[in-house]
Structure 1
């Protein structure tokens, strides 16, 4: 019976990691969806730099899209690597998860707080908070993983 309980406790962090990977994909894709619909990022750049012409705003949005998609791809690789390490039972998997969580948390904090030359935060707050979203299941997975050992 204890083996069954131990196995189910180990599945919860793994399920949380899959949720985190899904949220990372959403956070990476949302700016592209935003670009063709609500234009939160473009409006934020325009509000921060009212004298920018449309071409300059488009260039800034393109730069942010490149940065956010790179972060998303790297984050997804991090999730998939951690999931693989956890599934095959690598002893260093929890340390990988902790390291990636610390890195992701630093990136999310930077996305929320780094100021642009205009004095406003560089990234639109909605997109900054989307960078925080995958950290939540990551934190829960690490906490439960450490407790399950």
Structure 2
């Protein structure tokens, strides 16, 4: 689960480090946008991706705590959080904006999938520790 938490941090931090990925994607979809409008759109995406990252990290840490504490609801929690994460990742990869292109740049979108892979492994390989 800690690998998934780490991947969640990577997915959340990468766009903050390399804002140009989002800016270039927005500029390609909306060539008439000025730098102010592009910066505003990038800031909005960064806020959304950061919020998703924080919520994802809290989910990973909460599930790890529940599993370590032997809570019976830990596995259903992990499965439910995985389902939510998959929906968010699929939305990031497929939702189109008014330009006709996907709204989220492909690289940050695919980075959202990485924690889902770790989540799938955690749910499938789950074993109760006693």
- Give the structure-2-normalised TM-score: 0.97
Distance 1:103 1:137 in 2: 14
Q: Which residue of the partner structure matches residue 15 of structure 2?
A: 31
Deviation at 1:22, TM superposition (A): 0.3
Question: 1:81 aligned to 62, 84, 105, which one?
Answer: 62
Greater helix percent: which structure? 1
Deviations 1:38-78 (A, max 9, x none): x1110000000000000000000000000000000000000
Question: 2:41 aligned to 38, 53, 60, which one?
Answer: 60
Q: Which has the larger radius of gyration?
A: 1
The answer to whether residue 22 in structure 2 is matched with residue 22 in structure 1 is no
Map 1:113-132; keep pairs closer than 5 Å. Answer: 113-132=94-113
- Give the structure-1-normalised TM-score: 0.85
Q: Which residue of the partner structure matches residue 13 of structure 1?
A: none
Runs of 4+ in 1 over 4 A off after TM superposition: none
Distance 1:93 1:55 in 2: 45
